[in-house]
Amino acid sequence: MRYIEDDLKDKTILITGGAGFVGSNLAFYFQKNHPDANIVILDTFRSGETLSNGNLKSFGHFKNLLGFNGEVISGDINDKELLLDLRNKYKFDYIFHEAAISDTTALEQDLMIKTNVNAYKDLLELAMEHNANMIYASSAATYGNAESPQKVGREAPQNVYGFSKLSMDNLSREYMKTSDISIVGLRYFNVYGPREYFKNTTASMVLQFGHQILSGKNPRLFEDSDKILRDFIYIEDIIQANIKAMQPKKSGIYNVGTGKARSFQDIVDILQRELGTNLTCEYILNPFIGSYQFHTEADISTTKEALGYEPAYEMEDGIKSYIDEIKRMYEEEIK
């Protein structure tokens, strides 16, 4: 679906983190719907380097870009010489900033702040010099255990990732006061959909449960999973919000979710219906009680009003649309 009618012919669009989950989906949206735009992807492709928790430092994967025809640059947003090179060699009209240390369990506070906050400031400076509108990924992690529904202005981050994203939002607000460019922060809630497989263990539980079921294993859920609720949002609605955020003079911080909280039990039940299985669920103790969000639900009223955003996918619709890709990834990458 095409979300804006604007002519992007000869416009140059930078997507940082473009080999990741959201970034690669954005790249293919533009390639399909705005083929005359110039798309430049910047990503720190995975190298095998890990964080102290054992997870990969970068989830960027070339397979997410198979079929992409635009320009691809391997590089780190912390590299000031690279950013200077981008500043001098290109003239960007839009910047979609998806690159980040996105692992919420990462313990490297220094790397998280350097990558997510300091490098973002450098990119804002680049955007101002190019007069490019900035659309960037914030996160529902800014809310921590804040009361539902989560509203902008009621943040209480519980980890350094959430803190870094809130710091990005605060920085953005300062730039909004004096800048002529549009700066839009989108707080993603629990995103699922195609091209997330290479996030490994940080991929959505929709994908992880789907692959458990396809392997014939009983789905393993925490006890009382029918009471653990999240605002799960399909990738197509994330793309919709990003594209609608391209409108000029729409600066602000906005939630991007469905506005409805659904349970992990719902995910398994819908997957079993779509896959035609009837495996018995196994329930295990939840070791994260006390450090676990039991209810997230985005207040999307301002997102609807300012951006014209309207979520199109209920969980049933999203999983149904996703199911063939879940099967394909299982056949190609796991089986």
Report the catalytic residues: 161, 199
Q: What is the DSSP string of 275-329?
A: HT--PPPEEE--TTTTSS--B--B--HHHHHHH-------HHHHHHHHHHHHHHH
The rounded distance, in Å, linking the Cα atoms of 326 and 334 is 11
Tokens of 50: 């890990």
Tokens of 309: 């955003």
The rounded distance, in Å, linking the Cα atoms of 93 and 42 is 15
Q: What is the DSSP string of 131-180?
A: T-EEEEEEEGGGGTTPPSSB-TT-----SHHHHHHHHHHHHHHHHHHH-S
Which of 29, 60, 65 is closest to 43 using CA atoms? 60
